[in-house]
A = this chain, B = another copy of it.
């Protein structure tokens, strides 16, 4: 099969690879569309110790079952593979399973990803494509589930309704925009500010999201002002902005992985009773709720997604890296 292979730092090669083998309890999916995630970019920069070259990246995937029980069905994949036995799996927190693996990773266990013509996936990770959702858009389900999980973690911890809360979203990438859209269109949050240094991206976000879209140094970003802050970037400087602008008793939801460590104002966190919640992935229930949200067009138009061909994937990665791509999401079509 053809595949886009991550072969080294900032290096992707479109080449011939072996087809995946049929495994008991799994299906082979002929990939139709596969989205580029921030974590794929992280790997591309050589900064993810779970994704070591050579590796086929990609875990936001839609396609048609090629070999398996439901061959011919149009499907969306939940790329998070868990043991289904541990305490986490049996209590609806599958995303915390110690044995979890994700498509397009090879440490500790290899699972080739979706930037290829075919991919293998356990049957229980396969969901039918809702009729109202286009195959090429469907990979957006995965980051939407990440955003939904993040928003609902914050919602549970907040002392008031999201409807009456002031929210800041740091980062206008897919997770930032999707968090904003869920806040606005699903949770009816009325006061949202979204911040990104990239004006092109801000422009794109402002077309789809009812929010104040500003650069990080804007005067709209007032200290001790926001009930909830979503840091979808995870740099030292974005965490510092988050702790600076969150209100006493407020909540920071931290989704980014850019800087693994760095300084933080623990004094304010303590004196002002700030809750900082790290979040990653989603539960199976979140994934199902997300399909309902997308099937019912609850987050509005998805016209902000850009599409490229798989054999042009290397240049798409390059453009995301350069910041010359304004779209919050590129999906590769196979």
Residue A25 CB within 8 A of the other chain: no
Residue A131 CB within 8 A of the other chain: no
A185 to chain B minimum Cβ distance, whole angstroms, is 25
- Looking across the interface, which residue of chain B has its beta carbon closest to that of A243? B278
Beyond A254-B269, A262-B263, A275-B278: 14 further Cβ-contacts under 8 Å?
A88-B249, A93-B159, A95-B273, A98-B248, A157-B157, A254-B266, A257-B270, A261-B264, A262-B266, A264-B266, A268-B278, A270-B279, A271-B280, A275-B277
Stoichiometry, copies per complex:
2
**Residues of chain B contacted by A98 (CB below 8 angstroms):** 248
Contact residues of A between 237 and 290, Cβ < 8 Å to B: 239, 248-249, 254-257, 259-280
Residue A320 CB within 8 A of the other chain: no
Interface residues of A (CB under 8 A from B): 88, 91, 93, 95-96, 98, 153, 157, 159, 234, 239, 248-249, 254-257, 259-280
A147 to chain B minimum Cβ distance, whole angstroms, is 14
Instruction: Indicate whether A234 sits within 8 Å of B266 (C-beta atoms), given known contacts A96-B249, A248-B88, A249-B93.
Output: yes
**Residues of chain B contacted by A249 (CB below 8 angstroms):** 88, 93, 96
Q: Which of B88, B93, B255, B273 contacts A278 (CB 8 A)?
A: B273
**Residues of chain B contacted by A278 (CB below 8 angstroms):** 266, 268-276
A95 to chain B minimum Cβ distance, whole angstroms, is 7
